[in-house]
Structure 1
Amino acid sequence: MKRFAFALWLSAISLNAYADSANCHQKANTPESIAATMDQALQLKQQLNSQPDPVVILVRQGQDMSSRHLTWSHAGYAMRQPNGDWRVYHNLNTCGTAESALYIQGLYEFLADDLVNQSIAVLRPRSDIATALQTLLHSAIKLNLFHSPRYNLIAWPFSGPYQNSNGWLLEVFARANDAQVWSRNDARRWLQLQGYQPSIVSAGTFERLGAKLFTPNVFTDDQPTELLRKGNVGLNSGDSVIRFIAHYSRAIPGCEHQNLGESVCVYLSPGAKRREKIKNRPSRREKIKNRPFYANRAACKSAYLRRQVVPCGPSSRIIPISVRRSRAASAAAQSFALRASRRC
Structure 2
Amino acid sequence: MQGCAPMKRRKTLLLTALLSLAMPAFAQPVCAPRYPPPTTVAAMFDMAAITADTLDALPDVDVAIAARGGQDLSRYGLRHSHLAFLVRNDQGGWDVVHLLNRCKTDASDLYREGLVNLVGESSITTDLRVGIPTPAVRGALKTMLNGAATQARALHEPRYSMLAYPGSTEYQNSNQWILEVAAAAMVQSAGGTALANRTAALDWLKQQGYTPTRMHIGIGKRLGARFFADNVAVTDHPASERISGNYSVVTVESVFDFLHRSGALERELSIPHQTPVPAVAATGVQPPVQ
Deviation readout 1:202-255 (Å, 9 max, x if unpaired): 12444322211121111111112223333211111112122122233444xxxx
Distance 2:242 2:145 in 1: 36
The one of 260, 264, 269 equivalent to 2:268 is: 264
1:241 aligns with 2:229: no
Deviation readout 1:83-119 (Å, 9 max, x if unpaired): 3210010000021310000000111111125567241
Residue 212 of structure 1: aligned partner: 226
Deviation readout 1:4-54 (Å, 9 max, x if unpaired): xxxxxxxxxxxxxxxxx9994553134333222212211111111121211
Residue 54 of structure 1: aligned partner: 62
Residues 230/96 of structure 1: CA separation in 2 closer, same or farther (3 Å cut): closer
Aligned runs of 1:6-25 on 2, under 5 Å?
24=31
Residues 67/239 of structure 1: CA separation in 2 closer, same or farther (3 Å cut): same
Deviation at 1:148, TM superposition (A): 0.8
Residue 90 of structure 1: aligned partner: 98
Name the amino acid aligned to 2:245. Answer: G
Distance 2:64 2:258 in 1: 14
Deviation at 1:192, TM superposition (A): 1.0
Q: Is the contact between residue 169 and residue 198 of structure 2 (CA under 8 Å) also seen in structure 1? A: no
1:174 is paired with a residue of what secondary structure? helix
Distance 2:224 2:274 in 1: 39
State percent identity of aligned pairs: 33
Structure label with greater radius of gyration: 1
Distance 2:137 2:107 in 1: 29
Q: Is the contact between residue 43 and residue 275 of structure 2 (CA under 8 Å) also seen in structure 1? A: no
Q: TM-score, normalised on structure 2?
A: 0.77
Distance 1:115 1:208 in 2: 30
Name the amino acid aligned to 2:214. Answer: I
Residue 99 of structure 1: aligned partner: 107
Residues 86/23 of structure 1: CA separation in 2 closer, same or farther (3 Å cut): farther
The one of 54, 74, 78 equivalent to 1:66 is: 74
The one of 153, 176, 179 equivalent to 1:170 is: 179
Distance 1:100 1:48 in 2: 28
2:275 is paired with a residue of what secondary structure? helix
Deviation readout 1:302-322 (Å, 9 max, x if unpaired): xxxxxxxxxxxxxxxxxxxxx
Residues 211/250 of structure 1: CA separation in 2 closer, same or farther (3 Å cut): closer
Deviation readout 1:48-91 (Å, 9 max, x if unpaired): 11212110000011022111222210000001123321001000
Q: Which has the higher contact order (CA 8 A, sep 6+)?
A: 2
Q: TM-score, normalised on structure 1?
A: 0.65
Aligned runs of 1:1-344 on 2, under 5 Å?
24=31, 26-52=33-59, 53-113=61-121, 117-138=125-146, 139-179=148-188, 180=193, 181-247=195-261, 248-251=263-266, 263-271=267-275
Residues 201/91 of structure 1: CA separation in 2 closer, same or farther (3 Å cut): same
Distance 1:266 1:244 in 2: 18
Give ranges in structure 2 of 5+ residues lacking alignment.
Answer: 1-27, 278-290
Name the amino acid aligned to 1:80. Answer: R
1:95 is paired with a residue of what secondary structure? helix
* Pairwise CA RMSD: 2.3
Give ranges in structure 1 of 5+ residues lacking alignment.
Answer: 1-20, 252-262, 275-344
Distance 1:233 1:105 in 2: 31
Distance 1:239 1:144 in 2: 23
1:124 is paired with a residue of what secondary structure? strand
Q: Is the contact between residue 56 and residue 125 of structure 1 (CA under 8 Å) also seen in structure 2? A: yes
